Amino acid sequence: MPENLLETWHTAATTSVGLFWMAFWAFGFGYLVSSGIQVFVTRERMRRSMGETGARSMALGTFFGFLSSSCSFAALATARSLFTKGAGLIPSLAFLLASTNLVIELGIVIAVFLSWQFVVGEYVGGLLLIAFMWVLVRLTQSKRLTEQARKKARAEEGDDASEDVPDWKSLIRSKEGWRQVSRRYLMEWGMVWKDVTIGFTVAGVIAAFVPTRFFQMLFVGSGGGDLSFSQVVLQTLVGPVAAFFTFIGSMGNIPLAAVLFSHGVSFAGIMAFIFSDLVVFPVLRIQAKFYGWKMALYILGVFLVTLIAAALLLHYGFAAAGALPDSSAAKSVTEREFFAVDSTLFLNLAFLALTLGFWGWKVKSAGFSFGVSDQLGERILLGFASVALLWVGAGLALPWIGLVGS
């Protein structure tokens, strides 16, 4: 138990807000790029370009995923649509892996919180995930199960009508095109804000409250210098388990990954943790709803095997090159200076102005609305996010009410 619970609470809240402050411009930039691509490229253009499994379809699935959103739930919806409208299972899964591991905004956020090795690991690892998945599915795929999953997904999706494919050159020059970009940008924030809120709050709480010995117990060998092969493997296996129980999306996981790194968790363990955004329970539940539990568990198994293999290969590849990141040099998350007059301040102000401008444009054209999903999982997530906001707000207010020193 901390000597001063209230001071630690204030530190946790300040850390959560500080971590988000460091990353806000990166989120904004990434979602602006992603929104433009989704409006001007469109899902239907992607679908018409992809077919059954082959080198061209795999390359296109990976490329379109790279251009698409990093939100796991948005990526799931797009991958499902591609699959139901005729794309092969393997290219569809390649799109799903690329859209959650190869996207621009994720690399930027990783660069903000971690080191260049993790950025390289994210992109190289994303390609390894796709390559390993391709081989594994080719060896184990059941055509009968795949067709059953496609039929179920089509029945769940309902309307099979194709969308129009607009002329992107005309659209990019039009006011309507940028109005769609602004709406998509706000939708991106709307899809991820709950995950981001929970993720940054959890990162602050863990950084302030959880002692180092807990990480040494959970990730065997962390903080103890050179690791044996068995310790690296154990940490790589623990990474997906930790991600499964935190159920935070890829963007929300990065500050927590920074906390793990500062406590000496291995490169392989952290990469496995970051790669695990598609093996969390909410994703499994959504996959089961549209494809059935057999296919959902099959995809889960494929992703688990590929992410563990990719994380281990990255770890020992970097080790062979003498480029493993040194966790002993990592500064504790709670010791970082978050708020200063620097480039982060001006970038955040620019993207705050952009976000408010887009929001004002939406309110002016469509009125103010705040939709709440009917899905139980989303309501539960909203509840957790609301509690997180109350926790952070109360923790920040402690000095103002005289309970802790300013």
Tell me the average pLDDT across 83-94.
82
**pLDDT confidence band for 117 (50 / 70 / 90):** very high
> Half-sphere exposure of 390 toward its Cβ, with a 13 Å CA cutoff?
6
Indicate if the pLDDT at residue 125 is higher than 70. yes
227: tokens are 């690791």
Range of weakest confidence among 51-65, 209-223, 278-292 = 51-65
Indicate if the pLDDT at residue 372 is higher than 70. no
Q: Which residues of 222-243 are buried (b: 16+ CB within 10 A; e: fewer)?
A: beeeebeeebbbbbbebbbebb
297: tokens are 């568990």
Indicate if the pLDDT at residue 205 is higher than 80. yes
**If you search the block for the tokens 């393997």, which residue do you land on?**
90
Tell me what percent of the residues of the chain surpass a pLDDT of 70.
82
Indicate if the pLDDT at residue 20 is higher than 70. yes
Tell me the average pLDDT across 180-202.
82
Range of weakest confidence among 75-79, 217-221, 316-320, 366-370 = 366-370
What pLDDT sits at residue 141? 86
Tell me the average pLDDT across 22-50.
71
Tell me the average pLDDT across 36-60.
68
Tell me what percent of the residues of the chain surpass a pLDDT of 90.
23
What pLDDT sits at residue 71? 59
Main-chain dihedrals φ then ψ at residue 151, nearest 5 degrees: -65, -45
Indicate if the pLDDT at residue 389 is higher than 90. yes
Tell me the average pLDDT across 54-68.
77
Indicate if the pLDDT at residue 276 is higher than 70. yes
What pLDDT sits at residue 1? 38
Tell me the average pLDDT across 74-83.
74
Tell me the average pLDDT across 162-187.
77
Indicate if the pLDDT at residue 266 is higher than 80. yes
Rounded CA-CA distance 135/123 in Å is 19
Quote the Cα angle for 133-312-72, to 5°. Answer: 50
- Range ranked top by mean pLDDT from 80-84, 128-132, 187-191, 259-263: 128-132
- Domain ranges for the chain, please list them: 5-157+166-364+373-397
Indicate if the pLDDT at residue 304 is higher than 90. yes
Rounded CA-CA distance 8/189 in Å is 30
Q: How many Cβ atoms from other residues are within 10 Å of residue 370's Cβ?
A: 5
Task: Identify whether the C-beta of residue 215 lies closer than 8 Å to the C-beta of residue 264.
Answer: yes
Whole-number mean pLDDT of the chain? 81
Expressed in percent and rounded to 5, the helix, strand and coil fractions of the chain are 75, 0, 25
- Range ranked top by mean pLDDT from 73-87, 128-142, 203-217: 128-142
What pLDDT sits at residue 2? 46
pTM comes to: 0.72
